[in-house]
Structure 1
Amino acid sequence: MFRVIQRSMRPAGLSLFTFKVYATPKKDSPPKNFMEVDELSRYSAPEGQLKYMEESRSPLEESISLEPYTSWCQKTYFQSKPKMQSLVQWGLGVIGFAGLIGLLLARGSKIKKPVYLPGFTGLAASLYYPQQAIVFAQVSGERLYDWGLRGYIIIEDLWKENLQKSGDVKNSPGTK
């Protein structure tokens, strides 16, 4: 077994060694003239100065060009961007104001504070973000239904246990 591993490891081990090879010209061969890199035609610099000239567009390229449409879209975007930013800020202001109104209306009540504040804020936010409000309502509705169902099951179990215990007390053999 050791010989098999040793023989299979030898070629792989040889690939890890590095060898230096020194080559010398034969003494009786004539000296060669080497060419410089600049002398090669592939590396020679072209004569004269180059100028970039853009090709003129064909009638087909002119008819397909999207440049007027893209410039119109950019112009419209940059004109509407400040208006949209102010609208978003105004909407956030309305949402915050609705939260403050809920806080003021819930003054003095420990029950109204957790109801009015998120209620008014959520109502104002749902006006500006209707899709997210719908998703939130669906998920919240499902969770509330699940919690209600769990609560109903727990109350039913407690009710049955109390009825059975009270029934056991009445029907016990020591009492009449």
Structure 2
Amino acid sequence: MPAPVLAASPFGDEETKTTPPLLLDELSPYGAPQRAAPRPEPEAGDLEQRVASLRQLAGPYTGWCRGVYDRIKPKVQGAVTAGSDTYAYLKNPPKDFYARAGVIGFTGVLGVFLARRSRVKKLVYPVGLMTVSASLYYPERAAAVAKSTGDSVYDRAVQSYAALERMVNPPGEDGKVPDSDDKP
């Protein structure tokens, strides 16, 4: 809605008669400010040029560091979560947890002492003794692990036996594997 503006003009009465009436939106104090003429950007100084060249030189390295950070961050967060979960578990452990953990750890140390002079024994004895003692305290978990491990061990044994049989008795010209009972 146009409204006439009654204001004194520094140019006289002729100017107020020739100007069109202003709209109410144009009179709002919250309107957009008038645009000033663009001023030219000052020349970059010596320090700004050095910083710009340093940024260009460091660009590939910062990208590499960002990539490494993005790969490591989930692993670190997982380790922190595991640590806080372990702390919460150990702060309120189940009944007889420390006694059982002590016995399992002791059997591991005993396995280290029994496995002298052999690298294989130093690996097998502690792990084997700790597994046996843990399976005595946690039989339901041991049964579940044994079932899944036993199935995979059985599958691997069958595959190994079949591969060994193919190596010992290579297929003949007709593609059949000769039986060990057949004699040429």
Taking structure 2 as the reference length, the TM-score comes to 0.40
Taking structure 1 as the reference length, the TM-score comes to 0.42
